[in-house]
Amino acid sequence: MTETAVRSDAAETAAPPAGPQPLTFAKALNTALADAMEADPSVIMFGEDVGPLGGVFRITDGLTARFGEERCFDTPLAESGIMGMAVGMAMNGMRPVVEMQFDAFAYPAFEQVVSHVAKMPNRTRGRVKLPLVIRIPYAGGIGGVEHHCDSSESYYAHTPGLTVLAPATVRDAYLMLRAAIRFPDPVVFLEPKKLYWSKETLDLAELRKEADDDAATGSAVGLAVVARSGTDATLIAYGPSVPTALAAAEAAASEGRSLEVIDVRSIVPFDDETVSASVRKTGRAVVIAEAPGFASVASEIVARVQERCFHSLAAPVRRVTGFDIPYPSPKLEHYFLPSVDRILDTVDELQWEDA
């Protein structure tokens, strides 16, 4: 990231004025962390460079200055140690939030996540809770190199005991992170890096009221939403693929196709009801995700739709995903990532009576 970009992003994280104002995804997360730490002294934020620097993407900007080094602090470059410390803190009444800095940097901590984070409540028959959040900036679209742009959601979704969330809007970034921190069980919180600088006009005061409602946790965990209504086919996406799906639906409208877009939001637990209701209505479905398609979350969604909507389907459920290769170099990533053209080509391949 260039010095200019860093300065620009730091400016974005300045406190917004009252009332409806443009808010970035990054600022929404930053504010969610600050509000959670203000509301609950047991919330602790730590990781690599999250202290005075404010994190690589400035998500923790200003937290150390506001809450002190005991509550937002830097750690050594040792992800396994970061995760092990979080487990111990959570076992002893704290609510740690840790940042893995980049998606693939979390792999050294994976043994801790699978062996302890995911299993401790079950191992102790519920006597020991682990209310911790693992923040992972993930996926591509920023011109990053290998180890900086992985879509690793399948690893976590496959591990029983973990809740896996992937917001795609600025509003959800705030509400879902607040809900994740309040959640009694461990949460893997996937933050699409390419959406950090996206903006929405929102009223933070209203968001805070909604987040403080006890119902907010339930609405953020386990529920998908209809991001765009349609009648001809359903596009199912999460995280960084949602804006691409919406752009494809907009382009399809000019060609006479009405596409519904489902924002999954919560990968685990998965909202079968909302997704299935949409597919039963449209009769066709395309699942969109940046991760490689083999043995993926996209594969699981296809299977669940096929099982629940078989008699309503007019065509096989299709996928538009990343290719089954390691993440490519920055100059080639646009070939790898799902695009509007790839989505529309796949929609055209569905069985249409007017074809």
User: Tens place of pLDDT for every residue, the chain, 355 residues?
Assistant: 433 343 334 434 445 567 899 999 999 999 999 999 999 999 999 999 999 999 999 999 999 999 999 999 999 999 999 999 999 999 999 999 999 999 999 999 999 999 999 999 999 998 999 999 999 999 999 999 888 999 999 999 999 999 999 999 999 999 999 999 999 999 999 999 999 999 999 999 999 999 988 666 667 899 999 999 999 999 999 999 999 999 999 999 999 999 999 999 999 999 999 999 999 999 999 999 999 999 999 999 999 999 999 999 999 999 999 999 999 999 999 999 999 999 999 999 998 865 4
Quote the pLDDT of residue 216: 61
Identify the CA nearest to 157 among candidates 273, 270, 17, 320: 270
Element (H, E) at 61: none
For the beta carbon of residue 77, count every other beta carbon within 10 angstroms: 12
Fold for the domain defined by 225-348: Rossmann fold (3.40.50)
| Annotation marks residue 158 as catalytic | no
Quote the pLDDT of residue 146: 83
Quote the pLDDT of residue 319: 98
End-to-end alpha-carbon separation of the chain, Å? 47
* Domain 3-12+19-220: CATH superfamily, name plus number: Thiamin diphosphate (ThDP)-binding fold, Pyr/PP domains (3.40.50.970)
Domain ranges within the chain, ordered by starting residue: 3-12+19-220, 225-348
Q: How far apart are CA 286 and CA 235, in angstroms?
A: 5
Backbone angles phi, psi at 237, to 5 degrees: -145, 170
148, 158, 311, 334: the catalytic one is 148
3-state secondary structure of 262: strand
CB of 291 within 8 A of CB of 325? no
Q: How far apart are CA 10 and CA 30, in angstroms?
A: 11
User: In sequence order, which residues have a C-beta less than 8 Å from that of residue 36 and are 6 or more positions away?
Assistant: 43, 97, 177, 178, 181, 182
Matching fold, domains 3-12+19-220 and 225-348 = yes
Q: Specify the pTM.
A: 0.93
Query: Bridge-partner residues for 235, per DSSP?
Result: 261, 286
